[in-house]
Amino acid sequence: MGGVNDARANPKGILVLRDYPSSAVRTDDTGPSHERVVFTLDLTSADGLFSAGQFPILSGDLVYATESRLTSTQTILSVLGNSLGIANQTVNLGD
């Protein structure tokens, strides 16, 4: 798939959400301990990259990339810019 876009997704926060059937849940550490499990992958380290390469994505898994810090900053700046732009237009309309 080409990896994640650093401007949009945080490569340290790749989540795989998986539901297991109740029959697969184990308390003896031979299988999942819960029906719903979230796996976290960090694609910024060698260990994370190797782990991701060996991690099977199953049918029904949800792969989620957390938002990049850059995206959050851009959103805040956009909101501030729009607010200031609207305030500036309002002042100009009154003149």
Domain ranges for the chain: 13-85
Cα separation of 41 and 68, whole Å?
15
CA distance 69 to 84: 23
Give 93 or 30, the one with higher predicted confidence. Answer: 30
pLDDT at 92: 52
How confident is the model at residue 27, as a pLDDT? 87
DSSP 22: G
Give the pLDDT score at 8.
72
Average confidence score pLDDT of the chain: 79
Choose among 21, 4, 1: nearest CA to 13: 4
* 0.85 exceeded by pTM: no
pLDDT at 7 over 80: no
